[in-house]
Amino acid sequence: MSFYRNAVWFVKGLQEYTKSGYEAAAKQFNTGDLDVNLGGRSFVITGANSGIGKATAHEIAKRGGIVHLVCRNKERADEAKEEIVEHSKNQNVHVHIVDMSSARQVWEFAESFSKSNSIHFCVCVYVLVLISLTAHIVMMIITPLLQITVSSGGMLVQKMKVDDLQSEKGTFDGTMAYAQNKRQQVILTERWASQHKEIHFSSMHPGWADTPAVQLSMPDFHAKMKNKLRTEAMGADTVVWLAVSAVASKQPSGLFFQDRMAVPTHLPLASSRSSSADEEKLQAILEQLAHKFKP
Ligand SMILES: NC(=O)c1ccc[n+]([C@@H]2O[C@H](COP(=O)([O-])OP(=O)(O)OC[C@H]3O[C@@H](n4cnc5c(N)ncnc54)[C@H](OP(=O)(O)O)[C@@H]3O)[C@@H](O)[C@H]2O)c1
């Protein structure tokens, strides 16, 4: 089954996830959707000093939003802030240093941020959620108006494995562990949407964009595909659309988007759906784990 899923997914990717896939989809975009003044609205963006996260922060700052860059490296975060302020002429850009792989740091950040900011009017854009656990922690503390999680089309090749959430069984494969987490994020988005009606949730796939992550983590893929990859701005387009456009916020909560359209979360005949009992178990395990890291 995994050979079937991988093959179908790659052919789909060549048609849809590339730069030409974006250009074809963009013919249907309504450019007016992004003509929005974001003055007074706050946006928390993780993974914001590079790639899709930085491109998203740029677009939001250009429209006057209050931008909170959540980054792990102070130097790179400050550089990104300077660049965004210079290009957008928006001084309302703030840096928060958090290692998103540390559940404890994520707790501490979410708690202190929620005390000092009006979180109920803010938008959380999780460009980078390293493990589903950290998304769950932030979700429990910060209850924004909108929550967008950047997942990946790569999740289509995975069925959620609730009995092996730490990828301990069999031979470890980093790419598949990544895709497994991205699958979990899509499932969690659907479940949160059905449980928290006051928040509008979406997950999305940015397509294949030429970013440092792709260059460094997938050098062979990057070398073969570099002329076909999207720009960072193209990868960020649907993130920005979900975060700012009125049309996007009228879509049902909990959907998975690609190029401003809700798209299926399973490949045809891929047997990748999990049972609702397994999805419930995933949430229960994350909740238990999250409490272990509570400061
Ligand atoms: N590019 C694609 O084709 C593609 C496709 C599908 C999905 N995605 C998703 O898009 C998102 C953004 O990726 P990208 O391609 O834009 O990559 P990128 O340019 O490498 O950006 C990744 C960002 O995540 C930050 N980061 C990494 N580990 C972190 C940690 N432990 N704590 C806090 N921040 C951390 C990095 O900060 P540092 O500078 O500190 O490393 C960087 O700002 C990811 O969720 C990725 O899975 C990308």
pLDDT at 238: 97
Nearest CA to ligand 1 atom 5: 208
228 lines ligand 1 (CB under 6 A): no
Q: For this structure, is 4 an active site residue?
A: no
219 lines ligand 1 (CB under 6 A): no
13 lines ligand 1 (CB under 6 A): no
Atom of ligand 1 nearest to the CA of 128: 45
CA of 49 to the centre of ligand 1 (A): 9
18 lines ligand 1 (CB under 6 A): no
Using alpha carbons only, what angle is made at residue 235 by residues 229 and 238, rounded to the nearest 5 degrees? 145
Q: What are phi and psi of 211, to 5 degrees?
A: -125, 165
Decide: 232 and 150 in contact? Cβ < 8 Å.
no
Burial of 264 (0-12, 13-18, 19+ CB in 10 A): exposed
Instruction: Name the active-site residue from 17, 22, 126, 178.
Output: 178
Centroid of chain to Cα 217:
18
150 lines ligand 1 (CB under 6 A): yes
206 lines ligand 1 (CB under 6 A): yes
pLDDT at 122: 75
Who's near 117: CB < 8 A, 6+ residues apart? 42, 68
Residue 218 DSSP symbol:
-
pLDDT at 145: 85
Averages of pLDDT over runs of 10 residues in the chain (295 residues) are 87 97 98 94 93 96 96 97 98 95 90 77 73 76 86 96 91 92 95 93 97 94 96 97 96 98 96 96 90 84
Q: How far apart are CA 192 and CA 202, in angstroms?
A: 10
SS3 state at 132: helix
Q: Can you give 158-209 as a three-state secondary structure string?
A: CCCCHHHCCCCCCCCCHHHHHHHHHHHHHHHHHHHHHHCCCCEEEEEECCCE
Q: How far apart are CA 249 and CA 264, in angstroms?
A: 19
pLDDT at 277: 98
CA of 294 to the centre of ligand 1 (A): 25
CA of 289 to the centre of ligand 1 (A): 24
Who's near 252: CB < 8 A, 6+ residues apart? 193, 262
Q: What are phi and psi of 258, to 5 degrees?
A: -145, 130
273: nearest Cα among 283, 281, 264: 264
From 72, 131, 189, mutation site for ligand 1 pocket: most ligand atoms within 8 A of C-beta: 72
Domain ranges of the chain: 2-292
Q: How many CB atoms lie within 10 A of CB 20?
A: 13
The HSE-up count of residue 198 (CA atoms within 13 Å, CB side) is: 8
Provide the β-strand partners of residue 200: 146
What is the pTM (predicted TM-score) of this model? 0.95
138 lines ligand 1 (CB under 6 A): no
Tell me the torsion sign for CA atoms 32, 94, 52, 272: negative
Nearest CA to ligand 1 atom 1: 209
Atom of ligand 1 nearest to the CA of 80: 43
- Selected from 3.40.50.620, 3.90.226.30, 3.40.50.720, 1.10.3720.10, the CATH number assigned to the domain covering 2-292 reads 3.40.50.720
